[in-house]
Amino acid sequence: MGREQARFVPDNPHPMDHTFFSALILLVLVLDPLGCLPIFIPIMRSVEAKRRARVAVREVFIAFSVLVAFMVLGEGFLRVMRLSERSLEVAGGVILVIIAIRMIFGSAGDAYGLEPGREPFIFPLAVPLLAGPSAMATVLLLVSRQPERMLQWVAALTVAMALSGAVLLLADRIRRLLGDSVVSAIEKLMGLVLTAIAVEMILAGLKRYFIGDL
């Protein structure tokens, strides 16, 4: 009986079951390309102008590969670590709340120790700036809840990562066009939306733990 219920695939729609578009919006919010700009721009200044686009595309592709790997290996990872969907849902929600609070109230920024003149490779742009803990937890959660829709989640991640890559490639133009204050305001608005999503994830996980699926 226990083994038969180990892998839960809901027959009826659950409040936290995602569609392609809701997953896309969630992934864009989690990747937070606008929030990456204050870190991305200073790091890329040390890269030759003619190589910046190539380096940005390479780092986005690496981040995408890391997150796809988490999607594909996510269910096996949960089994090995003996983690339930409920614990992952609550943990993912908590991480997203922390990320959202930083988006809303601002942060001094992480001090990524990169040697002057050294071209970034994997760290810190791909991991953890794009493929950070919150993004990893999110893709794991999507696949663990609805593993039969893997192709849709990969497609949503592809679009979200492409949008993030476009924002990073146009980083200097966006900041010049909108200004720092507008970029900051948009990021705070995204943080508010992400907070609501994160709280819903936590409540859904707690409900499933204490009450079960209704």
pLDDT tens profile 68-127? 998 988 778 778 888 777 777 788 788 878 877 877 886 544 445 556 567 888 877 898
The answer as to whether 13 is a domain residue is no
Q: Is the pLDDT of residue 43 over 80?
A: no
First to last CA, the chain: 19
Containing structural domain, residue 27: 20-106+120-210
Dihedrals phi, psi of 3, to nearest 5 degrees? -70, -35
Residue with more model confidence, 19 or 79: 19
Cβ-based burial of 108 (10 A; exposed 0-12, middle 13-18, buried ≥19): exposed
Mean of the pLDDT values across residues 22-36? 89
Residue 78 has which token pair? 């949960």
pLDDT value of position 107: 52
Distance CA 160, CA 139 (A): 12
Q: Domain total for the chain?
A: 1
The answer as to whether 48 is a domain residue is yes
The answer as to whether 185 is a domain residue is yes
pLDDT band at 213 (very low <50, low <70, confident <90, very high): low
Residue 9 has which token pair? 């695939």
The answer as to whether 186 is a domain residue is yes
pLDDT band at 4 (very low <50, low <70, confident <90, very high): very low
The answer as to whether 1 is a domain residue is no
| pTM confidence score | 0.73
The answer as to whether 54 is a domain residue is yes
pLDDT tens figures, 167-206: 999 988 887 888 878 877 887 888 888 888 888 888 888 8
Instruction: Read off the amino acid at residue 143.
Output: V
Centroid of chain to Cα 47: 25
Q: What percentage of the chain reaches a pLDDT higher than 70?
A: 85
Mean of the pLDDT values across residues 6-27? 68
pLDDT tens figures, 129-151: 898 777 888 898 888 888 889 99
The answer as to whether 4 is a domain residue is no
The answer as to whether 14 is a domain residue is no
